[in-house]
Amino acid sequence: MSATIAGIGTALPGLAAEQQALWDGFFRSHFATSRLAERIFAGSGVLRRHTVADPLTEDLSGWSTEQRMRRYVREAEPLGHRATIAALAEAGVATEDIGLLTVASCTGYSTPGLDIRLATSLSLRSDVQRLFVGHMGCYAALPALGSAADFVVARQRPAVLLCLELTSLHVQPPTRDPQQMVSHALFGDAAAAVVLTPDHAHAAGSRRVGSRRVGSRSSPLHLVDLAAMTDVSTSDHMTWDVTDLGFRMGLSPKVPAVLSQHVRPVVCDLLGRHGLDVPDVRGWAVHPGGPAILSTVQQELDLPPEALESSRSVLAEQGNCSSPTVLLILEKLLGRDDPEGAGPVVAMAFGPGLTLYAALLSGDPELW
């Protein structure tokens, strides 16, 4: 048995700022006309970003963490609601049929949490189970997806996973720290939701889950397996610290070199468990931590440039949105004119630890 990705929904804030406008209108002066910062922004691979806080009209760099958390609560609930409703609509699953709501976020905290607020706004059943996955960073979508899939298989009930990050709330005070220049050049805001259903709901076409018909893709993807690797010897290479002025990211330039040691072994082990090798993979959803990360993955796996086209496209149009990003890429892969069909598809993301997570998805029943 496995869990099926029955629907994906995404939501972006209404503010879409061009990267050059952000540099000219705010970050040029913020980084004291640093030539290094200018080169970093120009080479980020980002063309535009969606944000709930536009630095061209409001400067949050002096805000306290308390102020930022209040803003997070106000902005996160409607954005997460939109993404989840879109995913449920695509899946054809009614809110009363949801057995588990999982929320992943590392950019804001409150109690009652976003999971409870969304359960209320979505009118989920009072006995719905909830799980909040916090402070895992950019790779959180994949372990959260695995936990939600385990629930679906064990309980034979649909589950929802929402990944939501509002990185724009954490712009830091002016600095000449290159790591801050990199993080401020890359990150945007987004929400992405996935509805998972038991695999029998898609067997022999579409079936019913609870009171509604489950809408199915022509070749729905199933979560086959997950792999994880954490190199604790490099735990200081990527950090996300709570400060009095928001959350501050540390991002070492050594990250691509460390990942280059682990990408191929982790991916080949994951595929090898199921009799597959890298050339058998038809789609790649690789988290674009930045251009250097994508180049490292492409080189280590000996992939053609077009294999990471969806990852580069999301980086250009939305930036690095932390945990929702790999789901944004997966949605783009599934929506292409030449959909990956039966797969296999590999999703991959990286984050603090340093941690690498990979997921194998496929529509081929022989794999799941």
Dihedral over alpha carbons 172, 174, 180, 185 (to 10 degrees): 90
Q: Answer whether 248's CB lies under 8 Å from 170's CB.
A: yes
Task: Find residue 223's DSSP bridge partners.
Answer: 3, 361
Peptide bond into 354 cis (omega under 30): yes
In angstroms, the CA 197 to CA 195 distance is: 7
DSSP-based three-state secondary structure for 365: coil
In angstroms, the CA 328 to CA 193 distance is: 9
The Cα diameter of the chain in Å comes to 61
Catalytic residue annotation: 138
Residues 6+ apart with CB under 8 A from 286: 293, 294, 297, 308, 311, 326, 329, 347, 348, 349
